[in-house]
Chain A
């Protein structure tokens, strides 16, 4: 039987992998991958705690966890669309997506 601690362990492992990618990689697409992995780790934690602690509460609380994760997924999709558009523009201007070379984006 899977316990709550198992799910939080997987979530922490995913989060650590995402932190590693965000620190090491300088390619903008790889950094987007790392951010997506970290968002999914947070969502997994949210659903796990909701399932083990809140699912038998009365109605508004019982469905809140799943509803919040639905909102979170939609927001992450919007964020990915904007980041990908920025990457396309940066590539068109600089022929490069290495964030250490994109000095003009800093203002």
Chain B
């Protein structure tokens, strides 16, 4: 059974996600998304993964959320601020989401007696993660560096303003 801290974090995470999708102003949606990502980082702390949690806060709450807010300010325009909502599409979306949630809950209830309820003793430290990344997973790190530089190049090339010759 979950304790009160867990329930509060769950409310922040899922509530932030709902605010991100349903708020009237999209800027508030970006703030709600940042809150939801912060809640996920708190879950990482609860799961004894502090390095991943700090990484999540740095990358998501620090970089991606700020990037999204800047984009919202760049493309802010009156015409699309009032979003069109299709009632049939909304009905289909709610039904699909409810179906997924109900089926996942059934799977959860059916298997909860076999899932471990107590975490195994953790022996993972920062040092071991760093050693794993820099030794046996170093090819993956190289590929990840290539992907990151390619995406940064692509973003700069896409967003570059073509200056017209006068």
Where the two chains meet, the residues of A that have a C-beta atom closer than 8 Å to any C-beta of B are 1-10, 12-21, 23-27, 29-30, 32-34, 36-37, 40, 43-44, 47-48, 50-56, 59-60, 62-64, 66-67, 69-71, 73-82, 84-89, 91, 95-98
Contact = CB atoms under 8 A, between A and B. Distances in A.
B68 A84 contact: yes
B58 to A, nearest CB: 9
Contacts of B49: 47, 50-51, 66, 69
B77 A91 contact: yes
Interface of B: 1-3, 6, 10, 13-14, 17-18, 20-21, 26, 29-30, 33, 36-37, 40, 43-44, 46-49, 51-52, 55-56, 59-60, 63-64, 67-68, 71-72, 74-75, 77, 79-80, 83-86, 89-90, 92-94, 96-98, 100-101, 104-105, 108, 111-112, 115-124, 128-129, 132-133, 136-137, 140, 144, 147-148, 151-152, 154-156, 158-159
Given A13-B14, A37-B20, 7 more contacts: A3-B112, A20-B21, A29-B68, A55-B119, A56-B123, A81-B151, A84-B71
